[in-house]
Structure 1
Amino acid sequence: MKVKVISILEDNYMYLVIEERGKQAVAVDPAVPHRLLEIVRREGLSLVAVLTTHHHWDHARGNEPLRKELPALKVYGGDDRIEGLTDKVTHNQKLKVTLRLRHFNGDTMFIGGCGRFFEGSANQMHHNLTQVLGTLPPETKVFCGHECTIKNMKFAVLVEPENIKAKEMLSWARARDDDDKPTVPSTLKDEFDYNPYLRLSEEAVQKFTKKEDPVEVLEVLRKEMDKFKKPKERLPPHAMLALEWGLLRP
């Protein structure tokens, strides 16, 4: 098995999970369907199913166009709001679609971060991070839905300024960005070393949040992250002038 990482939209990822012997593939969140089909055809693959992590448009909008192209395609997901859904699954349900799979929702854990509380609470996120994802084997690979590692790691270093692993990860992520390469995947073991949302009992994290209860620590972290903006890079004078006239976006 191999996983093909495909960058799409502004910072999203979609994935092709490929069973190499039979050349069959399962797509995850294929929000740009024409690009996915180009890759599938170019590599001589048979697309047998789609896994949709959640209903947001930047993850689910490709399902209907794919089903028009491939009417027999199965679209799995855990929410009736998912476009093109054919098979609803429940949490932790095990599937065998070419590969053995277990259902999880997306935009929960990112490299060095966690999702926003758009449709849930800090308590729910704490449960999902610590009791669900956090209990998987340490070698579990984390393929998240968005590329936001640099910003996440800048915040992680702000929270834990003495965390050497966080600083090293930030440097590595910057180098990957310079080379226009993705930062996925990480491993769960790595996340426990530098992801502040998995380090809620650490002294530095509690000091930063001024809280000790894990759920309260998590809630403060996420609120602070929502306000966090990476420092603007120094721009040359002509670029600053262009910004003033609205010709460039900061």
Structure 2
Amino acid sequence: MVPPAALQLSSSPASFLVSLIAEELHNFELLELELELNLELELELELELELELELELELELELELELELELELELELELELELELELAGAGAVAKMEVVIVPVLEDNYSYLVIDQASRLAAVVDPVEPQKLLDEAKKHGVQVVMALTTHSHWDHAGGNGQLKQLAPSVRIYGGQGDNAEAVDEEVNEATRLTLGETEITVLETPCHTPGHVTFVARHADQPAAAFTGDTLFVAGCGNFNSGTAQQMKTALVDKICALPDDSQLFVGHEYTVKNLLFATTVEPDSQEVQDRLAWARARREAHEYTVPTTVGAEKATNPFVRCTQQTVLQYADTTDPVAALAKVRADKTAWGRRK
């Protein structure tokens, strides 16, 4: 057996160098391979990052496209809605129009226009020329006059109206003997103004034959012309009438109409009436709010008509004669007695003002 030392001595320097070089080459190849692998990994990583970036860009683009599409759809819907509203607005033009015409010191007359036929009625035309001028301004023909009652500040222009417009037919309440009336009417009467129907409520008290005219057209709220029976937050003097008559007129007839019915009254007494109403129902926020509203309207020189049945049920102490607060005020359980008490107190209150 040859000892290890002898083997080492037997190895030539050349073979050792070759072995060393081979080992270095092998290590170099391994390093190159490792570098190549690292490069491939880096390339793969870059490719993955590029793919992820492309996917993100594609997703962002898709989201932008979806957002643009949603915005376009919203815009289309808005345009469609605007068109529908325009069409609805065009279709919602009032087929019956009431024009308020202030006359004398604090009276109201009215011009009722049927849009389809361009025919019109005048209500309580105490200043007939003013009403006819208003009709001319609106391009309509006056064919009838509706007289709520015989007092001069409502019926006093009927004769002059006949002279100015002889073809106009004048209507008034049965037994009221209003000036220049062609036909007296009652609750069986049906008048036609183009497509507008006009009916009658018999509301005697302020005068024996006082009537309220009610104009209706299709789905529009009714328009009732109450003369001196009902005011905004008030009612007329009884004169020769009774509290029972006024209760029937206010509660059982006029305010039996639907709550959205519009009430066109004979005088601008609203602020005074609501001031008195605060003495009957001092805790009523509805009365306080309506008084503030009425004051603001009058300070701006604006009308407080029309009112509505719903508003009168909430704030008119005469209409509210059936309500517990008004019954307590009058110290009675009888609505008719309560109405009589409120009317007497209002008259006395008015004299003190």
Tell me the TM-score normalized by structure 1: 0.88
| Distance in 1, Cα, partners of 2:127 & 2:344 | 31
Quick check: 1:90 aligned with 2:211? no
How far 1:59 sits from its partner (Å)?
0.3
Q: Which residue of 2 aligns with 1:100?
A: 197
How far 1:225 sits from its partner (Å)?
0.3
8 A contact 2:114–2:193 mirrored in 1: no
Which of the numbers 104, 110, 113 marks the counterpart of 1:18?
A: 113
How far 1:92 sits from its partner (Å)?
5.2
Q: What SS does structure 2 have at the residue aligned with 1:130?
A: helix
Q: Which amino acid aligns with 1:109?
A: L
Q: Which residue of 2 aligns with 1:248?
A: none
| Distance in 2, Cα, partners of 1:40 & 1:4 | 9
Quick check: 1:109 aligned with 2:226? no
| Distance in 2, Cα, partners of 1:90 & 1:143 | 19
Q: Which residue of 2 aligns with 1:81?
A: 177
| Distance in 2, Cα, partners of 1:201 & 1:83 | 36
How far 1:230 sits from its partner (Å)?
8.9
How far 1:80 sits from its partner (Å)?
4.9
Q: Which amino acid aligns with 1:4?
A: V
8 A contact 2:119–2:193 mirrored in 1: no
| Distance in 2, Cα, partners of 1:230 & 1:128 | 25
| Distance in 2, Cα, partners of 1:213 & 1:153 | 23
| Distance in 1, Cα, partners of 2:288 & 2:234 | 14
Q: What SS does structure 1 have at the residue aligned with 2:295?
A: helix
Poorly superposed stretches of 4+, deviation over 3 Å: 229-232
CA deviation profile, 1:58-91 (whole Å, cap 9, x unmatched): 0001111111122111001114511110011113
Q: Which moved more, 1:99-108 or 1:46-55?
A: 99-108
Q: Which residue of 2 aligns with 1:239?
A: none
8 A contact 1:154–1:230 mirrored in 2: no
CA deviation profile, 1:38-63 (whole Å, cap 9, x unmatched): 21222221001000000000000111
| Distance in 2, Cα, partners of 1:229 & 1:127 | 24
- How many residue pairs were aligned? 232
Q: Percent identity?
A: 38
Q: What SS does structure 2 have at the residue aligned with 1:38?
A: helix
8 A contact 1:151–1:230 mirrored in 2: no
Q: Which residue of 1 aligns with 2:54?
A: none
Unaligned runs of 5+ in 2: 1-95, 202-210, 212-226
Q: Which residue of 2 aligns with 1:240?
A: none
| Distance in 1, Cα, partners of 2:346 & 2:186 | 30
Q: Which moved more, 1:160-169 or 1:207-216?
A: 207-216
| Distance in 2, Cα, partners of 1:229 & 1:128 | 23
Quick check: 1:28 aligned with 2:123? yes
Q: Which moved more, 1:214-223 or 1:39-48?
A: 39-48
Unaligned runs of 5+ in 1: 233-250
| Distance in 2, Cα, partners of 1:150 & 1:90 | 32
| Distance in 2, Cα, partners of 1:41 & 1:189 | 34
CA deviation profile, 1:199-233 (whole Å, cap 9, x unmatched): 1233321222122211100000000000113987x
CA deviation profile, 1:18-40 (whole Å, cap 9, x unmatched): 11233211000010012112212
Question: Aligned Cα RMSD in Å?
Answer: 1.6
| Distance in 2, Cα, partners of 1:213 & 1:231 | 27
Q: Which residue of 2 aligns with 1:242?
A: none
| Aligned 1:184-195 pairs, distance under 5 A | 184-195=305-316
Higher relative contact order (Cα pairs below 8 Å, separated by 6+ residues): 1
Tell me the TM-score normalized by structure 2: 0.63
Which of the numbers 318, 321, 337 marks the counterpart of 1:200?
A: 321
